[in-house]
Amino acid sequence: MLQLDDILDLRAYERVRDDYRRRVIARKRRRRVPLGPILTVVFECADTVRFQVQEMARAERIVTDEGIQHELDVYNRLLPSPGELSATLFVELTTEGDLRRWLPALVGIERALAFEIGPAPLVSVPSVPEASHAEALTREAVTAAVHYVRFAFPPDAVARVERASSEAGPAPDDGALTLVARHPAYEARTVIGVETTSELLGDLLGTTAPLPLR
């Protein structure tokens, strides 16, 4: 969990922001997975969460410990524990017509994702909505454009990801890690490349090293 001491005050953050923002964006690029034409999944870590808190404090001029702690309490929930991945799922729609079409159709999408790890026998790790956000984001008739989900990997699945981090190829049956969506209104699959797989393996093993901020 991130603590108050992990967050710079506004003046100190301004001095390092340009360089830190550049490095976080580069890390997020490795942790961003497109899933078909309208879904994107971004896997969270200490850097993505700390950046969000720093930017929120900057935008809203939050200067008190109490205010920063409130933001930490909200965003620390997105940090993965060892053995799991935590992600923000974006439904990326840009027109009113697409919003009216897709948001009602995709109800339940937050439970329709899974990681598949080959080769046979295939291991499947389903998505589960992040508990503290699920009630606020779940609707019977229309879904939200943003969801927070987790994937809990059993030890044998983590071991397979370790192999996939050096062996991931262009097809799932080559032993790659694959992210899939299986929803009545939407199906897609993306084979995860070696660079992203290595990032995610760090989360699963609890070894992802945060970027230096100061």
pLDDT means per 10 residues in the chain (214 residues)? 94 96 96 98 97 96 95 94 96 95 95 90 92 67 93 93 67 70 97 92 94 82
Please provide residue 44's backbone torsions phi and psi, each rounded to the nearest 5 degrees. -85, 150
Distance CA 117, CA 201 (A): 13
Q: Report pLDDT for 139.
A: 67
Residue-level length of the chain:
214
Q: Is 133 among the domain residues?
A: yes
Q: Is 39 among the domain residues?
A: yes
Q: Which structural domain, as residue segments, surrounds residue 69?
A: 4-205
Q: Report pLDDT for 60.
A: 95
Q: Is 53 among the domain residues?
A: yes
Q: Record the tokens describing residue 145, joined without a space.
A: 């454009």
Q: Is 60 among the domain residues?
A: yes
Q: Report pLDDT for 203.
A: 96
Residue with tokens 């027109």: 95
pTM score above 0.75: yes
Q: Report pLDDT for 137.
A: 60
Q: Is 211 among the domain residues?
A: no
Q: What are the residue ranges of helices labelled H in the chain?
A: 10-30, 46-60, 65-75, 96-105, 131-137, 155-167, 194-205
**Enclosing H/E stretch for 107:** none
DSSP 3-state of 93? coil
Q: Is 193 among the domain residues?
A: yes
Count how many domains the chain has. 1
In this structure, are residues 117 and 180 in contact, taking their beta carbons and an 8 Å threshold? Answer: no
Q: Record the tokens describing residue 140, joined without a space.
A: 């019977």
Distant-in-sequence, close-in-space partners of 198: CB < 8 Å, separation ≥ 6 = 165
